[in-house]
């Protein structure tokens, strides 16, 4: 929605960033910058690493499969998301990609795919989902990339859950109910979104019994899982997060 | 997110629905029901028309390109969305489809594509977007399909605007500002979302000068246009719409 006034090309790197810091490129990054984007020595590239904010850097060495960038100045401070996790059951491929992209854009700190009884997909490509989160941060001028976990069964995740982090459960049986986020306390939270088909009755009973789980309604309409994820993150950010 | 307990297959029709009402099928609908879905005489089909709620009907005649359904009983009352329109500038194809789908799911009453100075696409397929809105309603157990207008220039839309309907402008220059929806009055509203690249300075000046336009911030992060649309509709629904 906004034309960046900072360097147009943004790269996420592992390397520390700071005044005068030299940042070596991976072969893939060198190929992308110099082969695909036709950049060369002297061009400006924006860098971030999830810790040191965004830095404007300059290409000082450019090779076919290698290159070095030199940090010049900080262009934006590090912006960390609030302490919100997203737990979701992967659905169809495009919609799963979409959920990860939107969670990264809207400011989630961690993304946890879970397998539920009605989860359609038995496995996910964690690396692909992580790449989507990274791309969302690169495109939206973010300086933080939420880690995407490997998928685990929901039952296992809940068994080892630290109750200090509360779970906001988008409970599809509450469609039209008045269970809103009003009155909830800030702090560490996770949002839980079910798969197409919802949770099983056994899962629902378990969730209802957990003291750290709060069910919430997302309005009077039935929402697809991807829509529910975006709506729930938005409401949490506005009520308890950094959109206040 | 929920397994429908009503008839699994849902069709949107033009015909009035009511006790004993016979509903003739179009050749496409007959092909879909009897050819693709292998339904036949005696099977239950859910019907809605945007006015009479959802009705459970029964197939009483099934042909290759024709068929008749008979309404048996109302399965759900008509659910109208609140008086919220979405004005948006079409972006890439998939993301435009997505915006229309989500607007229909989240409860918008009308969808208005507009051409802005930085709108990438010079034309849209109104019929394709309308079909997406219809499919979203069919899939999400909705009983209303928001009409999708033909695209018009934003300047023309604003020139003929009835000021009794206020416009909530997701102003990308307010990223991080404290301009929230708190304190806004209910009533007829429209949400305005800009294209990738935002609005031009001329457009921004014009919008700022209009008495019925209220700028709002969508948090401290830069959002893609499709994310901004979903987030803004969600916030409006929670603050002023039927999610309260």
Q: Which of B132, B218, B221 to mutate to test the interface with A (most CBs of A within 10 A)?
A: B221
What are the tens digits of pLDDT across the range B200-211? 999 999 999 999
Considering only CB atoms, A230 lies closest to which of B173, B175, B230, namely B230
Q: Does A10 touch chain B (CB under 8 A)?
A: no
Inter-residue contact A184 to A239 (CB < 8 Å):
yes
ipTM of the complex: 0.90
Whether residues B106 and B198 fall in one domain? yes
Q: Residue A44: what are its φ and ψ, rounded to 5°?
A: -95, 135
Hunting for tokens 């029901």 — which residue is that? B33
Q: Does B98 touch chain A (CB under 8 A)?
A: yes
pLDDT greater than 60 at residue A2: no
**How many Å lie between the alpha carbon of B163 and the closest alpha carbon of chain A?**
26
Whether residues B209 and B231 fall in one domain? yes
In a domain, A112, yes or no: yes
The total number of structural domains in chain A stands at 2
Whether residues A93 and A72 fall in one domain? no
Taking the CA atoms of B159, B162, B163 and B166 in sequence, report the sign of the dihedral they define.
negative
Inter-residue contact A151 to A113 (CB < 8 Å):
yes
Inter-residue contact B76 to B235 (CB < 8 Å):
no
pLDDT greater than 50 at residue B13: yes
Contacts of B172 in chain A (CB under 8 A): 1-2
Inter-chain CB proximity A234 and B231 less than 8 Å = yes
Inter-chain CB proximity A224 and B197 less than 8 Å = no
Domain's final residue, options A59, A76, A93: A76
What's the pLDDT score for residue A176? 75
Whether residues B88 and B204 fall in one domain? yes
Q: What is the crossing angle of helices A93-106 and A225-239, to 10°?
A: 10
Structure tokens at B179: 């301009």
Q: Does A220 touch chain B (CB under 8 A)?
A: yes
Whether residues A163 and A180 fall in one domain? yes
Considering only CB atoms, B237 lies closest to which of A141, A219, A242, namely A219
Considering only CB atoms, A221 lies closest to which of B140, B175, B197, namely B140
Whether residues A45 and A137 fall in one domain? no
What are the tens digits of pLDDT across the range A146-201? 999 999 999 999 999 999 999 999 998 888 777 788 889 999 999 999 998 889 99
Segment B172-178 shows an average pLDDT of 81
Whether residues A189 and A141 fall in one domain? yes
Q: Does B5 touch chain A (CB under 8 A)?
A: no
Give the integer Cα–Cα distance in Å for A81 and A128.
22
Inter-chain CB proximity B79 and A223 less than 8 Å = no
Hunting for tokens 């994820």 — which residue is that? A229
In a domain, A196, yes or no: yes
Contacts of A1 in chain B (CB under 8 A): 170, 172, 193-194, 196-198, 222-225, 228
Q: Does A11 touch chain B (CB under 8 A)?
A: no
What's the pLDDT score for residue A120? 66
What's the pLDDT score for residue A3? 40
Whether residues B60 and B117 fall in one domain? no
Whether residues A44 and A17 fall in one domain? yes
Segment B108-120 shows an average pLDDT of 92
In a domain, B17, yes or no: yes
Q: Supply the Cα-derived Rg of chain B in whole angstroms.
A: 20
In a domain, B5, yes or no: no
What are the tens digits of pLDDT across the range B84-100? 999 999 988 888 999 99
Q: Does B78 touch chain A (CB under 8 A)?
A: no
CATH of the domain at A103: 3.40.1280.10
Whether residues B44 and B97 fall in one domain? no
Residue of A nearest to B143 (CA): A221
Whether residues A68 and A150 fall in one domain? no
Of A31-35, A42-46, B89-93, B105-109, give the lowest mean pLDDT range: B89-93
Segment A70-94 shows an average pLDDT of 94
Q: Does A228 touch chain B (CB under 8 A)?
A: yes
**For residue A217, what are the domain limits?**
84-239
Domain's final residue, options A76, A93, A125: A76
Contacts of B235 in chain A (CB under 8 A): 234-235, 238
CATH of the domain at A50: 2.40.240.20
Whether residues A36 and A108 fall in one domain? no
Contacts of B39-43 with CB under 8 Å at 24 or more apart are: B39/B9
Contacts of B3 in chain A (CB under 8 A): 197-198
Segment A3-18 shows an average pLDDT of 81
Inter-chain CB proximity A106 and B2 less than 8 Å = no
Domain's final residue, options A76, A108, A130: A76
The count of other CB atoms within 10 Å of the CB of residue B211 is 7
What's the pLDDT score for residue B120? 66
Contacts of B197 in chain A (CB under 8 A): 1-3
In a domain, A2, yes or no: no
In a domain, B3, yes or no: no
DSSP 3-state of B155: helix
Structure tokens at B9: 């297959």
In a domain, B2, yes or no: no
In a domain, B42, yes or no: yes
Considering only CB atoms, B227 lies closest to which of A106, A142, A241, namely A106
């Amino acid at each position: 929605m906004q034309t960046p006034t900072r360097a147009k090309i943004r790269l996420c790197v592992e390397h520390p960033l700071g005044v005068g810091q030299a940042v070596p490129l991976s072969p893939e990054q060198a190929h992308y910058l110099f082969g695909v984007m036709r950049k060369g020595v002297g061009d400006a590239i924006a860098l971030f690493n999830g810790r040191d904010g965004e830095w404007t850097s300059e290409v000082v060495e450019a090779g076919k499969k290698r290159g070095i960038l030199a940090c010049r100045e900080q262009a934006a401070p590090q912006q960390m998301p609030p302490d919100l996790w997203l737990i979701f059951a992967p659905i169809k491929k495009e919609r799963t990609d979409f959920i990860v992209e939107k969670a990264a854009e809207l400011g989630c700190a961690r993304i946890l795919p879970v397998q539920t009884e009605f989860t359609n997909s038995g496995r996910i490509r964690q690396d692909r989902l992580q790449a989507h989160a990274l791309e969302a941060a690169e495109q939206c001028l973010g300086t933080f990339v939420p880690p995407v976990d490997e998928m685990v069964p929901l039952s296992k995740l809940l068994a080892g859950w630290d109750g200090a982090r509360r779970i906001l459960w988008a409970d599809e049986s509450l469609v039209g109910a008045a269970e809103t986020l009003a009155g909830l306390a800030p702090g560490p939270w996770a949002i839980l979104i079910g798969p197409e088909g919802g949770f099983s009755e056994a899962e629902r009973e378990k969730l209802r019994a957990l003291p750290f789980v709060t069910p919430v309604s997302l309005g009077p309409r039935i929402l697809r899982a991807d829509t529910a994820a975006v709506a729930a993150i938005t409401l949490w950010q506005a009520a308890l997060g950094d959109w206040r």
